[in-house]
Structures are given as C-alpha cells and as structure tokens.
Structure 1
C-alpha cells in the first residue's frame, strides 16, 4: 500500500509515492529511505519498485518519486541535469524529515546508475543524509563517458557531437541528443529500460554529466555509512567507476562486485544482492536502534 504525495523542489511540484510500514505503532518514528530512479526514468521503474518492496518489507518508511521533468513531476521534460537532481533529492529528504512517521535524524538515500551518482553526491554535500546505497553508479562524468565511448573513433564521434551541441547552444538553440548517443546500451539490454523512459534529451544534459564528479565529495559522507554495489562486468556503466568511488571514500564504506549480472543488478531472482543489502542495513542503518530494541 502506498499514498501518492507531492512536495516542492525549487518551486516545482514533484510527484511521489510514500510507503509506510504496516507494523508501525501509533506515534512511532521509523527511519526512511528515498529511492532515486535512473537516467530519464521515473518512480515506476522496476528497480525502484523492487528496492521499495525490499525496504518496506524490512520496516522502513520509503519514498519513491519522479525527479523534475520526469514522470508526473513538473519541470522541462527530459532536462535531467545532475545538479538539479541533487537538489530534488535534498528536498525529498526535507519532505521525509517533516513527516510525523519519520525519525528526522535517520533518512537514507538509495539510487541506481545515474540515480546512484546523484545519491552519492547528495550524501556528500548534505550531512542530514544518514546513509547511502549506490548501485552501478559513477564518480567522474567525463571519465565515465570516455570509458563508455571506448576507442579513438567512438570518442571522436562523441566529441564532435559535443562540439555541435555547444555551437548550437551559442546560437540559443538546444540540440536534442539520443539517449544511446550519450550512454551506449547494448541492444540486448535495452528491453530493461523502464516504460516511459526518455529516448532523447536536450544537450544541456550532456554538459551536466561531463562536469559531474561525485568523486570530489564522496569522502565527506564518512563517518556515515556507504554501500557501493556494481556488476563485476558492466557493459553500461564501467565497473571502474564504483571502484574509484570506493578509493575516494572514507570509512565505513563497502564495495561489492557481483558476478553474472549486467548493469541491472536488482531483480527478484538475485536474492544474493537483496540479502546483502538487507544485512548491510541491519548492521549500519537498522530499523530500530539497539536501545529501542532493548526497551
């Protein structure tokens, strides 16, 4: 069961769904987790819904929501700038902190892929975020894009696209860019894209990704806990991106590389990953603090 909600982010109304634990006592405040969707996706993304079911089953308050310009939220369609999504995440934290069912000191964020990079950056710049889970994320936008457009010819084509976009922008025109010209995805994996995902973006999205560097702030998450998950062989977001995030992070930080799965790491069939996340939450971000359990 969930309740449709809306909240303000820089004057835009964002749409979300709030999931409350069925076993909560009257007046009880539970820890909460905001689940962030991926690149040009929405709150109904299968990964988002799976993570929401997991966290709800463990007893957390969970918020899934559409970033600005996505799903049912206000904002220019498909203009998914990294910095704007960090702001949306921070406003989601404020919304959760204001709910009577939530312990305002215990709000975490979780994201996958693009959402994972946003989650890490938001946690790095906002000390109110008590814990962070990042799945198949990235820490350096330019390095990630170079790795995704591997080889001299592929990178040259990407640079030529960037040059065209900047030339048109200097004339007051925003050039549309195909999703797959920004982030190449093997045809065999494209069926995993959530319904309603954007297939075209304004050029400003490319520039935002090029300058976005969660590596620069990930160390500031410590001593709050950080969990990094990544496929050991990821054909979409290079595995090296999570490894570099871990190298830049402070403790406590955990990095797990998972075999035999490609990019879309969360699934009902992958019980190992779901159990790993549940165990990590129990250790670092439990539903009830020890003193509450002993009372």
Structure 2
C-alpha cells in the first residue's frame, strides 16, 4: 500500500501501515482487533488526533476496516478498496466458477459456508452495516475478477438502507482488483486522489462530520 501511504504522508497525514498476520486457519478473526490496536497505538503515542482517525484497507483489509468501523467509535471515517463484503455469497459463487480456489479458501477459512454459517457472518461486513454510522467511501474496479464490484454495490446499498447518508461509492472503469487497467497500467493516482479528497472532506477540522455528503 506504499502507493497510497506515501502520497497521503506527503499531504501531511500521519500514516500507519499495518500488515496482515501470517495466514492461519480462521486468521480473519483477529483482523478487527489488529485494526483497533493500531488506533490505540496512534492515540496513546500522541501521533494521532482523536477527532480525525480514519482507516483505509484494500481487499481483506477493506473488509477489516468496515468491520472495525462498526465496533470502534474512535474511527471517524472509513475507506474500503475492493473489499469482499458477503463472504459466504462470494464463496458460493466461487464453488461454481472456480472450484480449486473455493477449496483453497475453504481450507484457509477452516470451514465451508454451509458448515459454519455463523463464522462467515462474523467476517462479512454486510452484516455490520446497521452499526456503521460514520462516513464510508467504497472504491472498486469495474473489472475486478477477485472480488467483483457487486461487493461494494451490496455494501453501499446496505449502508444507505440503514440510513447512513455519508456513504459513497466510486467505481473505477476498466480497473481490476489491484486497480490495474489493461491499457493504462495501474490507476493508483486517481484512486489516491479520491482517498485524499474524501479525507479532506470528512476529517476537516472546520466541518462537523455530519456535513459530509454521500
């Protein structure tokens, strides 16, 4: 995520880049705790403004950011890039179209969706939507073959259905899961600009959070 962290830091933001834990069965159960611990570190070290904390994540990190936003009121703005949203629904689609990837992920998750539906709900941001009240920006490539754009569309619909008027969805035409474009290379610059503009809007010192429009 250096392609995003570096321009944000250059714009004056304090940026903490957090990696994933080593992959293990049910590794995603700890993701939210890791995000919350990172927020605690920023605040306890005096490096973060308690009124201007945002979390940004890509793919699994985007899912973790959304789940953390539902559980931690210290987070004032959230940005999810290419996030898987309904993991059971995603896995069931994989079962039909890519059985080998389905088997690999089912092993990593420790169960198939039908074997442990409660676990799949716990790691699926779609079920946290009623508790996410802060501004949320979803950014997704229209040609994402890993976690198709419908994931962010589902999440945006769930947020607005639950009265989050500060949710926004940006689709990047022709971009894949990592914002790669067949003819234009990686579209990191326009995505970085969207993120920066969102942070300026939702974390502005002079404007209350409620002033951010979706």
TM-score in same-fold range (> 0.5): yes
Q: How much has 1:182 moved relative to structure 2?
A: 2.2
Say whether 1:95 aligns with 2:41.
yes
Say whether 1:276 aligns with 2:199.
no
The DSSP-based 3-state class of the residue aligned with 2:41 is helix
Q: How much has 1:281 moved relative to structure 2?
A: 1.4
Q: Tell me how far apart the structure 2 counterparts of residues 130 and 263 of structure 1 sit (CA, whole Å).
A: 26
Residue from 149, 171, 182 that aligns with 2:105: 182
Give the corresponding residue for 1:20.
Answer: none
The DSSP-based 3-state class of the residue aligned with 1:129 is coil
Q: Tell me how far apart the structure 2 counterparts of residues 206 and 123 of structure 1 sit (CA, whole Å).
A: 26
Instruction: Report 1:1-295 matches (<5 A).
Output: 48-69=1-22, 78-79=24-25, 81-151=27-97, 154=98, 161=103, 181-182=104-105, 202=108, 204=110, 210-211=120-121, 212-222=123-133, 224-249=134-159, 250-265=164-179, 269-286=187-204, 289-290=205-206
Q: Tell me how far apart the structure 1 counterparts of residues 70 and 144 of structure 2 sit (CA, whole Å).
A: 25
Against the structure 1 CA distance between its residues 236 and 269, is the aligned structure 2 distance closer, same or farther, given a 3 Å change threshold? closer
More strand by share: 1
Give CA-to-partner distance per residue, 1:124-154, whole Å, 9 cap, x none.
1111111100000022110111233444xx5
Against the structure 1 CA distance between its residues 281 and 205, is the aligned structure 2 distance closer, same or farther, given a 3 Å change threshold? farther
Q: How much has 1:239 moved relative to structure 2?
A: 1.1
Aligned length: 194
Q: Tell me how far apart the structure 1 counterparts of residues 176 and 125 of structure 2 sit (CA, whole Å).
A: 22
Query: Greater CA radius of gyration, 1 or 2?
Result: 1
Q: Tell me how far apart the structure 2 counterparts of residues 93 and 205 of structure 1 sit (CA, whole Å).
A: 30
Against the structure 1 CA distance between its residues 139 and 100, is the aligned structure 2 distance closer, same or farther, given a 3 Å change threshold? same
The DSSP-based 3-state class of the residue aligned with 1:248 is helix
Q: Tell me how far apart the structure 1 counterparts of residues 82 and 95 of structure 2 sit (CA, whole Å).
A: 17
Q: How much has 1:251 moved relative to structure 2?
A: 1.8
Gaps of 5+ in 2: 208-214
The DSSP-based 3-state class of the residue aligned with 2:89 is helix
The DSSP-based 3-state class of the residue aligned with 1:103 is coil
Q: How much has 1:158 moved relative to structure 2?
A: 7.2
Q: Tell me how far apart the structure 1 counterparts of residues 143 and 111 of structure 2 sit (CA, whole Å).
A: 26
